[in-house]
Amino acid sequence: MVLLASTCFFTTQPGLSLLFKAYYRVDHIELIRPRCSELGLDPYLVSALIFTESRFREDAVSEVGAAGLMQLMPETAQDMARLEGLPNMKKEELLRPELNLRLGTLYLSRLLQRFPSEDLALAAYNAGPSVVEEWLEDGSKLRFPETRAYVAEIQKHKQRLKNLYPEWERVP
């Protein structure tokens, strides 16, 4: 609650709002908003996920091999590429923002359709859909502390982005 209140305070102060916008710099919004509109996704959610995953670094590659803005695992990206009619996608192409956003948003969209809540879809993005399905079958919630923190982090960033960029509410 304190974070939300502080975000509202900071974004109503002109100088501090500029500082927050510098911190929450959103690159590629010209790609994000139309793709979100196409798939029925929330651009704040997608931007918060990208901020959490890569801080909008196009060349980000994790220790386990997740790549690009949305930190896609090559196998997941390949599955999404096939669905998008791109069967010959190469792993290094994941560092291209347009392709990474195209595949990552498709994956997120499919997770949001598969799971009953946004938080569970985000947990699946982080821990994997089969893990989250196991948790649901066991009747447990988000079992991994890292996954709970990941979901909370994205939700926090999503709210801050909404406060900073209210103009995104308008359809592109």
CB atoms within 10 A of CB 146: 10
**Per the residue annotation, which of 30, 38, 53, 133 is the catalytic one?**
53
Active site residue 92: no
Exposure class string for 108-130: b at 16+ Cβ within 10 A, else e = bbbbbeebeebbbbbbbbbbebe
CA 29, distance to chain mean position in Å, is 13
**Residue listed under structure tokens 């009619």:** 85
Alpha carbons 86 and 81: distance in angstroms, whole number: 5
Alpha carbons 81 and 91: distance in angstroms, whole number: 11
Q: Residue 141: which residues within 8 A CB-CB, separation 6 or more?
A: 135
Give the CA count within 13 Å in the CB-facing half-sphere of 107: 28
Active site residues: 53
